[in-house]
Amino acid sequence: MLAFPAYDIALLTDRGQRDTQEDAIAARVFDAAKAGYVVIADGMGGHDAGEVASGLAISSWRDVLDDLLEDGTPSQNALLDALPLAAMQANINLAGHLEKQQGGFRMGTTLLGVLLLGSRLFWISIGDSPLYLFRDGRLVQINEDHSMAPVIDAQAKEGLISAEEARSHPQRNQLTSVIMGGAIPKVDCPETPLDLRPGDIVIAASDGLQYLDDGALQTILREQGENLAQDIAYALFSELVKLGDPDQDNVSIAVIKPASI
C-alpha cells in the first residue's frame, strides 16, 4: 500500500485468486501545479498479455500527464486535452505491440484515469473499472460502465428477467468498450468537473472490488469515512478477503480524500 501526502490518497492492489496479476495502478501528486492523478488499468489476455496491456496503458498515461504537470501550471484546457490523448497513446502503443506478435495474439485493457486539480476532479474511463463518489452517507458510481451489466440490469427492472438471473447472467461482464489497439467504441470523459467537498471520498478501482455489492461498500465507507485513506483501502480489501470468493479477480483500489490545498 502507498500513501501520498498532498492529497490523502492510498493505493492497494492484490492478485486475488488468479494465477497472474493483470491490474496495474499508479498515482502521483504535483505540489507546484496543485494537481495529482490516479490511473488504473485492468488487463485482459493472461500472462504476458493482460499484464503487458495494462502496463502499456499506465506508462502511456504517465508519459503524457507527467510531462504537462512537471512544467508547473498547465492550463485546464491543456490537461483536459491530455486525458483522451493519453488513452489514444495507450491504444497506439498496444497496437504497435500486437504488430510484433504472432497472428491471433489478443490482449486488451480498461483505463480509468482520474485527474485532480485543486478540488476539481476530472476523469476518463474506458471499460468497466468503477469510479465511486461517497457523499453524505451515499455511494454512487459516477462513471459509465462499459459492460453488459447496465443492459442486463435494465432488463431486470423491466421485468424481462429476474434479479437473480441478472446477477448471474453469463454475459454480465462482457465489455462493450476496451483498449485493444483498434477502434474504441465508447469513451467517458466529461468536460465538466466534479467539485469535491469536505467529507467526500472517491474510490477508483478495478472491477475486482465489485465482488462486494454497493450496499457492502456503502456500509464500510459509513463506518470508516473519518479514517485515513489507507485505513479505508485496507478495510475494503479486508472485507473482500472475508468474503472468500474462490473466483476473486485481481483487485486494485485507490481511495482519494480531498484536502485543503
The structural domains of the chain, with segments of one domain joined by +, span 2-144+186-257
Cα–Cα distance measured from residue 132 to residue 151, given in angstroms and rounded to the nearest whole number: 19
> pTM to 2 decimals?
0.92
pLDDT band at 261 (very low <50, low <70, confident <90, very high): very low
Instruction: Provide the pLDDT for residue 151.
Output: 79
Q: Which tens digits make up the pLDDT trace of 222-241?
A: 999 999 999 999 999 999 99
Grouping H, G, I as helix, E, B as strand and the rest as coil, residue 203 is strand
Looking at residues 35-62, what average pLDDT do you find? 92
Cα–Cα distance measured from residue 232 to residue 237, given in angstroms and rounded to the nearest whole number: 9
Give the chain's mean pLDDT.
91
Q: Which tens digits make up the pLDDT trace of 163-208?
A: 777 776 767 778 999 999 999 999 999 999 999 998 999 999 999 9
Enumerate the β-bridge partners of residue 36: 29, 116
CATH 3.60.40.10 corresponds to the domain 2-144+186-257: yes
Cα–Cα distance measured from residue 110 to residue 127, given in angstroms and rounded to the nearest whole number: 5
Sort 23 into a burial class: Cβ within 10 Å, 0-12 / 13-18 / 19+: buried
